[in-house]
Homo-oligomer: A and B are copies of this chain.
Amino acid sequence: MSDPQAAPGPDVATLAIGILGGTGDQGRGLARRFALAGNPVIIGSRSAERAVAAAQALGADLRIRGMANADAAAAADVVIVAVPWDGHGDLLKSLAAALAGKIVIDCVNPMGFDQRGAYPLPVAEGSAAQQAAAVLPGSVVVGAFHHVSAALLLDPEVASIDLDVLVLGDDRSATDLVQALAARIPGARGLYAGRLRNCGQIEALTANLVSINRRYKAHAGLRVTDV
């Protein structure tokens, strides 16, 4: 085995992180943790007012601003997509110009729920991340942060999160950067976990974590052993 963190990763400490759909639980949780780590963070939303309110609610001491999604996309160095699956492709297509030349991190899990629990929705492109790549030809799309529990990210009692963030993409410098971003969350480690074509099962795996959480009353995360 080799130590994935033996080599110094890219310096990501000053990157401004935009979070599209950042008023949802996952987006607010990531915003909080990156801001606590010292990164400037911009929450994006369809409504600039709601983005500002969400940013303020996370704490006036944190460097979190709120903007309309398009402005957040333009202002950020790196952009996380945390919008609902419904409308995902259309929103990104409308932001293609603002996102061109940037690393776009998709953490969206296309899932349905019924009486028997969660299940993955079929995606024509193979995964939400591949759909993003298809509509954002000028961006470098990476899949990551699918499995991190929003409840844990938002919990002020939780200092450290026991989790490997699986990072998927076809551009080595981009996946290296996202791995370094993942490591900004205390306890978390960023691990390369394959090319974008292998992102569908990572998104779908969230349905299994929902089942595990229900059975064991947990906020389950994943660790990869022997790495």
The answer, yes or no, to whether A99 is at the interface (CB within 8 Å) is no
Q: Is the CB of B198 within 8 A of A201?
A: no
Q: Is the CB of A194 within 8 A of B1?
A: no
6 more A-B contacts (CB under 8 A) besides A117-B194, A120-B198?
A120-B201, A200-B204, A218-B227, A220-B224, A221-B225, A222-B223
The answer, yes or no, to whether A202 is at the interface (CB within 8 Å) is yes
A205-B201 contact, Cβ under 8 Å, with A2-B217, A222-B224: yes
The answer, yes or no, to whether A162 is at the interface (CB within 8 Å) is yes
Of all chain B residues, the one with the shortest Cβ separation from A224 is B220
The answer, yes or no, to whether A207 is at the interface (CB within 8 Å) is yes
Which residues of A approach B to under 8 Å, CB–CB? Answer: 1-2, 4, 116-120, 162-163, 166, 168, 191-195, 197-198, 200-202, 204-205, 207-208, 210-212, 215-227
How far apart sit A117 and B168, CA to CA, in the bound complex (Å)? 13
Which residues on the B side are within 8 Å of A191 (C-beta)?
A: 212, 216
Of all chain B residues, the one with the shortest Cβ separation from A191 is B212
Q: Is the CB of A198 within 8 A of B119?
A: yes
Which residues on the B side are within 8 Å of A221 (C-beta)?
A: 224-226
Q: Is the CB of B220 within 8 A of A216?
A: no
Which residues on the B side are within 8 Å of A227 (C-beta)?
A: 212, 216, 218, 220
Q: Is the CB of A194 within 8 A of B218?
A: no
How far apart sit A212 and B116, CA to CA, in the bound complex (Å)? 32
Of all chain B residues, the one with the shortest Cβ separation from A195 is B116
How far apart sit A204 and B216, CA to CA, in the bound complex (Å)? 24
How far apart sit A197 and B211, CA to CA, in the bound complex (Å)? 12
From the candidates B207, B217, B224, name the one contacting A198 in the complex (CB within 8 A): B207
Which residues on the B side are within 8 Å of A1 (C-beta)?
A: 216-219
Which residues on the B side are within 8 Å of A117 (C-beta)?
A: 194-195
Q: Is the CB of B204 within 8 A of A192?
A: no
How far apart sit A101 and B127, CA to CA, in the bound complex (Å)? 38
